[in-house]
Amino acid sequence: MTDPLPPVPPPPALPAETAISTPAAVDPKGAGAARSRPAGAAASPEKAALGWTHTARFVTTAARLDQVPVSELPEIAFVGRSNAGKSTAINTLAQQKRLAFASRTPGRTQHINVFALGPKDEPDAWFADLPGYGYAAVERSAKLRWQEVMAEYLAVRRNLSGVVLMVDSRLGLTDLDRQLLEWIRARVASGEVRLLVLLTKADKLNRRDAQKVLTATQEALGDLSSTSADIGVTLFSALSRQGLGDVAVALREWVHPTPPTA
């Protein structure tokens, strides 16, 4: 590689919430505002959304798509390369340590894990944690099987409402990520399936490199856009919680659209 060495990164930026010194009274989204709200008042959108993602609980695990129960509930699929930070992102969203097992042996989890969200006796959405991909040591037959499972799931799963694609922010979109985007291209273009790309481990990048990968990813996704498509990209860090509230709000909005205010 001929790239020059990257500059020494500046100290990590404070999360926006703590960097902004606006008084709580005029910052309805700030943490202070939520604390000072009178009892019974609606929580901030982020708190409400994180309260919803916190309800995630394990439903079932399946080795094949035909073993995943048929469901009418809106389903959000989590996909990404092995080691992209998928399990960590799901656990962080759910604020649970071991909901999705953060695997120490990448490539091992070839199953589809399903989680339910919403009230206990009345779930209102499912999260589907799909097999990670791109792990070099996985044998060819396993890779082919992965392609089959993923392509089929993304193409035919009727209740699929949205896809969250986790991409390591230091790598950006890889060939396998682009392959996956091709599998959902038509359903995203029609607006049937929403897409959110999380550029994970953003805490490992300095601001300039973070901005660079954000722009490059937005450009690459421009190719998928259409008038009906709902496509988002955001920097995300489980470590610093960067993007966490926004992601929870976006996912909740997918399955519980805010009614337009009259």
Binding site for Mg ion (CB under 5 A): 87, 103
CB of 82 to Mg ion, least distance (A): 7
Among candidate residues 73, 128, 64, the one with its CA nearest the CA of residue 100: 128
132 binds ligand GDP (CB under 6 A): yes
Cα(113)–Cα(100) distance, rounded to whole angstroms? 8
Q: Locate all alpha helices (DSSP H) within 14-113, ordered by sequence.
A: 16-19, 31-36, 45-53, 86-94
Total site size for ligand GDP, rule CB under 6 A: 19
Measured from the CB atom, the residue of 221 and 244 that comes closer to Mg ion is 244
Measured from the CB atom, the residue of 78 and 229 that comes closer to ligand GDP is 78
Q: Which two tokens stand for residue 153?
A: 């799931």
Instruction: Considering only residues 139 through 198, tell me which ones interact with ligand GDP, judged by CB under 6 A.
Output: none
Q: Locate all alpha helices (DSSP H) within the chain, ordered by sequence.
A: 16-19, 31-36, 45-53, 86-94, 140-156, 175-189, 207-222, 244-255
Q: Which two tokens stand for residue 6?
A: 């990257």
CB of 73 to Mg ion, least distance (A): 23
131 binds ligand GDP (CB under 6 A): no
Question: Which residue is it, tokens 């399903």?
Answer: 114
Cα(221)–Cα(163) distance, rounded to whole angstroms? 14
217 binds ligand GDP (CB under 6 A): no
CB of 86 to ligand GDP, least distance (A): 3
203 binds ligand GDP (CB under 6 A): yes
238 binds ligand GDP (CB under 6 A): yes
87 binds ligand GDP (CB under 6 A): yes
Binding residues vs ligand GDP (CB under 6 A): 80, 82-88, 102-103, 106, 132, 200-201, 203-204, 237-239
